[in-house]
Amino acid sequence: MLAKRIIPCLDVKDGRTVKGVNFVDLRDAGDPVELAWNYSNQGADELVFLDITATVERRKTMVELVKSVARQINIPFTIGGGINEIADADALLNAGADKISINSAAVRNPKLIDELAAAFGVQFVVIAVDTRSIGDKHVVHLNGGRLPTERQTLEWILEAESRGAGEILLTSMDHDGTKGGFDNGLLKTVNDAVHIPVIASGGAGKVEHFVDVFEKTNVDAALAASVFHYGEILIPDLKQILKSNNIEVRI
């Protein structure tokens, strides 16, 4: 059985790590390179960096951030935000990122997934999906969760997989920042439907939420931000508790 992964997520804005609730009310959470080094030493399995206000002008900033992070850590990390074409991904991977994450650009131009998978291999391509419940449907949202689309979440994820996505990073906006637990119902539905790894995101507030998400959904990884950034959960402690619940993790 593959070990379950614990992944801190660093939302980066203007070179700083920030965190909000339901994607708004951002507050500073520290220097991303320092946090990356700390998480690598704590035993995080991977890291995800998301440039949440990505623009063309910031692309060079993100390349420099990738280089700085790559010098400090020895675990895989993913970069997302503002990747709209092969050249963007190429620059970040050449700077030291292990994977790239795309969200809005993939929904607007699904062929981008095919192109990235063909250029770099499926293992490099993470499709991030921000979803929110509207009525009785789970709907994909773009632009950092601000723009609802016509796409239903599971349908879009299945298309992304068929086009060459290597992994799905699924964030429940309804749960994001609430610390009330992951959206286990949705995560199980998606995980049961796909054949690629699923990363659970949105809602982690205490250790039991990680136990629950692995036991109830069998996802491959769980991602969180503020509980790690502010020291509410320490990764070594979390992994020991997961192990005591017979959940396979790397210690």
Answer whether 207's CB lies under 8 Å from 233's CB: yes
Q: Which of 11, 176, 183, 220 is catalytic?
A: 11
Active site residue 25: no
Q: Which of 51, 98, 130, 183 is catalytic?
A: 130
Answer whether 100's CB lies under 8 Å from 80's CB: yes
Kindly give, in sequence order, each residue whose CB lies less than 8 Å from that of residue 147, ignoring residues fewer than 6 positions away.
Answer: 141
Residue tagged 């192109």 (tokens): 115
Rg of the chain, C-alpha, whole Å: 17
Active site residue 11: yes
Q: Which residues of 104-121 are buried (b: 16+ CB within 10 A; e: fewer)?
A: bbbbeebebbebbbeebe
The catalytic residues are: 11, 130
